[in-house]
Amino acid sequence: MLHQKKILLGITGSIAAYKSALLARELQRRGAEVRVIMTPSATEFITPLTLATLTGHPVHSDFTENKDSGEWTNHVELGLWGDAFLIAPATAQTLSAMVSGTCDNFLMAVHLSSRCPVIAAPAMDLDMFQHEATQSNLKILKSRGVPIIEPESGALASGLEGKGRMAEPESIANWLENWFRSKAPLAEKKVVITAGPTHEPIDAVRFISNRSSGKMGYALATELNALGADVHLISGPVQLSAPAGVQVTRVETAIEMHTIALKSFETADIGIATAAVADYRAKSSSSVKLHRDEIPTAIQLQENPDILADWGKRKRGTQVLIGFALETDEGVESAKSKLARKNLDFIVLNSTQNEGAGFGTDTNQISIFEQNGKSHIFDLKSKKEVARDIVTILLTHLPQ
Ligand code: CTP
């Protein structure tokens, strides 16, 4: 959730400022871009050089960059840059200044001019934290919508024990991740995706399958997870590693995929069928390897269940269903017929007639046909970009 998020990290004058270096590092490790602002007193606890070196950007603590030339730091620009302004540690003095709108240092000027949400992680001695004035300031800030990352209890710099220690960098990073997730467009949406081929056994080593690589389903799972969805990917055998943050269930056969997919769809908001499920399986298979002279020259086939069609029969309320159609001809009529027959909200068509589209490739060229009659034709793009296009249309199908 922190990938490419712009975090403005404000450091104020507390001994906990030393933890801010680790915090900056942790946020960057999770993919965030970090810029640091310090109050003059914070620079007595940790040097701007440390933070500038860690983040790769100059640290701002004064209105003027260069007193001789009159070059100044644009606090308005910095305030507009961030997706979130995290003040960690936030001293009792800073919390009070935030309440009163005091603007006596560069950090407080950014605080007043920032349009992004401001979040504070207090750090102070236990008596300062418990003081009525501090508690009242925290209450006012919360009522204004400023989230407070609660301090932890433990040994304090004063030698006392109690609540007041700034939360650990890892806990703050986790808190931020959850916070971004709760604000994401697909927060609290559960998505189930089928992906890859299935293997239908003939014997212990041979199977019937197809050329599906699973890349489209995995790209969709990654994209949906980045938008805050809780993604369950049911994957046939593929050479891809599980996307971070996605729950993956690996299966072999259509029957296994069908059982798990039906169960998962019961509680899902969105179902996406990208899998190239084998339409048929061998009527009987051997649990041991068959020798050449034991292999039948004709294999009797039995139809596999249609997972997407069964989702379509069970679809209720606001559940959204998306299917895929891979065709070797133009395929529009066939895709539209599947859209209606399988009770879908929209279908994604890719035709192998178009170079760079279909199985195995890193690119795809899709058209989308919606149940409401709208259609969209896209250019050849990477599967990651295609996933974005599909999700953009998906968002228009969700209840507002
Ligand atoms: N699908 C599925 N289970 C199956 C077969 C297909 O869930 N047993 C899903 C695919 O994941 C895809 C869509 O159905 O989203 C279209 O698959 P396709 O096999 O092309 O559909 P069919 O109805 O089998 O049509 P065709 O006659 O072209 O084979």
Joined tokens for residue 200: 């239908």
Domain with CATH 3.40.50.1950 in the chain: 6-183
Determine the distance separating the centroid of ligand 1 and the alpha carbon of 192, expressed in angstroms.
16
Point out the residues that are catalytic. Answer: 210
Inter-residue contact 201 to 207 (CB < 8 Å): yes
Determine the distance separating the centroid of ligand 1 and the alpha carbon of 127, expressed in angstroms.
66
Q: Could you tell which of 338, 346, 350, 352 is best to mutate to test the pocket of ligand 1, judged by most ligand atoms within 8 Å of the CB?
A: 338
Inter-residue contact 386 to 225 (CB < 8 Å): no
Confidence of residue 221 (pLDDT cuts 50, 70, 90): very high
Say whether pTM exceeds 0.75.
Answer: yes
373: left (phi over 0), alpha (psi -120 to 50) or beta: left
Q: Relative to the CA of 322, which ligand 1 atom is closest?
A: 15
Domain with CATH 3.40.50.10300 in the chain: 190-395
Inter-residue contact 200 to 253 (CB < 8 Å): yes
What is the CATH code for 190-395? 3.40.50.10300
> For ligand 1, atom 17, which residue shows the shortest CA distance?
325
214: left (phi over 0), alpha (psi -120 to 50) or beta: left
Spelled out in words, what is the top-level CATH class assigned to the domain 6-183?
alpha beta
* Span 78-95, pLDDT tens digits: 888 999 999 999 999 999
* Span 23-65, pLDDT tens digits: 999 999 999 999 999 999 999 999 999 999 999 999 998 887 6
309-319 residues labelled b (16+ CB within 10 A) or e (exposed): bebbeebeeeb
* Span 111-161, pLDDT tens digits: 999 999 999 999 999 999 999 999 999 999 999 999 999 999 988 888 888
Determine the distance separating the centroid of ligand 1 and the alpha carbon of 205, expressed in angstroms.
26
Element (H, E) at 390: helix 383-395
pLDDT at residue 354, rounded to an integer: 73
